[in-house]
Structure 1
Amino acid sequence: MAYDRFAAICRPLHYETLMSSRACVKMAAAAWGNGFLSGLLHTANTYSLPLCKGNTVEQFFCQVSQLLKFSYSDSYLREAAIMIFTLCLGFGSFVIAVLSYVQIFTAVLRIPSEQGQHKAFSMCLSHLAIISLSLSTIMIASLKPPSISSLSLDPGVAVLYVVVPPAANPLIYSLSNKELKVVLRKLLHQVQCQHP
């Protein structure tokens, strides 16, 4: 998405060439390949663990961290290596997105009209909002200290990063739709009039 925005704003005359169907297939294959490789590594590591502490997972999401609790081997080093590899893959995508947006913002700031700048920024804001929401929920779940882990908190945190970003995605992207904004304003006005 960041590269698409970059091509649309920074190279509008070359957009068709840069975002050809071949380029889109390559980018989608790279994203899916990263996800598949990461999932495959976690799954292979999990299935190779010798489990001894029961088989009841206290969550409705079967997370790797929960499965590691059942292992009597010292598997944290292998899992840490896989997590570092996965983070490197994700960090590569993040760097590409940041570099794209740096170039986008420099190009947008060179647009002479304020209306043109507003239009270009609004084109990017929905994607940036989704990235921020996804990264913040994943960071909350990943960086949560184990000392505050509990049977009631862990599923809530899992729901936070598994459900909230995909559920908010259509809403955030549709907020750039003018007709939807008009309907939301009318709805909010009706709600405010009913509750004085």
Structure 2
Amino acid sequence: MSTVNQTLNTDFTLVDLTEKPQLKLLLFVLFFLMYIITLIGNLSIIVAYKLSPNLQNPMYFFLSNFSFLEMFYISTTVPKMLANFLSENKSISSYGCAAQLYCVLLLAGTEFYILAAMAYDRYNAICHPLLYTVIMRKIACIQLIVGSWAIGATNALLHTTFTFTLPYCGSHKLNSFFCDIPVLLKLACKDTFLNEIIVFILGGGMAVGSLILTIISYVKIISTILNIHSTSGRKKAFSTCTSHLIVVTIFYGSVFFMYLRPKSSYGKDEDKLVNIMYTIITPLLNPFIYSLRNKEVEIAMKKILNRMAAALMPHTT
């Protein structure tokens, strides 16, 4: 308990992406614009799902929940990073650091299993089209979403608890723009072998488990697609999966690189680029990946914009 109290009374210092003053304002503007575009893009998908009758199916239910998660995800790290660009005080309290770490791990863990649920949805749509509406009932979709959040919450609680039972010493300077397990372990005053094992077994097991579920779904999907005799049919079936596969590849690749490594390689400057990839770039790209490759989403958004324009026209005359 004394170790926990010591840790929770410790302030940490976050590090900007650059030490060059002339670049900080430029990076502030760049990441601020990326943040706003991410929020607008993901919110647009949620609004399109809510207001468009033709999008009322499991695929877009999962996509709207995924978009909500991404808005929450990028909001856990970017606002603090933007504030630090403009402030000389880069500190974050231990409670704030623990809360930020918990939220990042919660959302990352939940994203793993929402991606797996989305793959399962595509598997049923392509491999069992006649039973699709029976298997993917509304209650089943809600259970998959709730289960994903429950797994993410449990994983985040365990990792945050184990990380903040460590004593921290030295400068308390984190070589990152947000609180994360690898950079925190780097500052611990005692051996962190047990924590590394916990990250590898619990975190790795959770991530690999969701990846295995996703791979199994896609093996069966690809097998079914290859048995479709029509070229246009194969193309249409595969086009519904490519956006999801792109997001899965980016997210899993960057997260695995960041966490499933020995402590000796933690905290390097290139890790900041990896952090940017899965906490900022992936949420930014998701709306474009899904909407640009999806005619139904494009049509729904155009209809909503046309309705908004029509509603505003009388007030402008």
Whether the TM-score (by the shorter chain) exceeds 0.5 is yes
Aligned to 1:118: 235
TM-score normalized by structure 1? 0.82
Residue 53 of structure 1 contacts residue 70 of structure 1 at CA under 8 Å; is this kept in 2? yes
The two structures have a TM-score, normalised by structure 2, of 0.52
- Once superposed, what is the RMSD of the aligned Cα atoms? 2.4
Please name the residue that 2:226 is paired with: 109
Counterparts of 2:267 and 2:182 in 1: how far apart (Å)? 13
Larger mean CA deviation between 96-105 and 134-143 belongs to 134-143
- 1:108, 1:120 within 8 Å by CA — same for their partners in 2? yes
Matched, 1:158 2:158: no
Q: Write the deviation string for residues 147-171 of structure 1: whole angstroms up to 9, x where unpaired.
A: 7766643322211221121111111
Deviations 1:124-182 (A, max 9, x none): 1111111011122223434678777666433222112211211111111112234999x
Count of aligned pairs between the two proteins: 181
Q: Determine which of 59, 76, 95 is the counterpart of 2:212.
A: 95
1:69 corresponds, among 168, 186, 197, to: 186
Aligned with residue 149 of structure 2, among 32, 38, 43: 32
Report if aligned partners of 1:7, 1:15 keep a CA contact under 8 Å in 2.
Answer: yes
**Aligned partner letter, 2:217:** S
Unaligned runs of 5+ in 1: 182-196
Match of 1:141 in 2: 258
**Counterpart in the other structure of 1:78:** 195
Conserved 8 A contact 2:176-2:267: no
State the 1:99 CA deviation: 1.1
Q: What SS is found at the alignment partner of 1:13? A: coil
Secondary structure in 1 matching 2:131 = helix
Bigger Cα displacement from structure 2, 107-116 vs 152-161: 152-161
Residue 129 (structure 2) aligned to one of 12, 24, 48: 12
Q: Measure how far apart 1:39 and its partner are.
A: 1.0
SS in 2 for 1:62: coil
Alpha-carbon distance between aligned partners in 2 of 1:135 and 1:73, rounded to the nearest angstrom: 30
Change in 2 beyond 3 A, CA 1:66/1:110: same
Deviations 1:78-137 (A, max 9, x none): 332233112112222111111111111111111111100100010111111110111222
For residues 198 and 290 of structure 2, the distance between their equivalents in structure 1, rounded to whole angstroms, comes to 36
Cα distance, 1:54 vs structure 2: 3.2
1:128, 1:179 → 2: CA distance? 18
Opposite residue 57 of structure 1, the aligned amino acid is L
1:56 partner letter:
K
The residue type paired with residue 281 of structure 2 is V
> In structure 2, what is the Cα distance between the partners aligned to 1:53 and 1:115?
62
Distance (Å, rounded) in 1 between the aligned partners of 2:211 and 2:265: 29
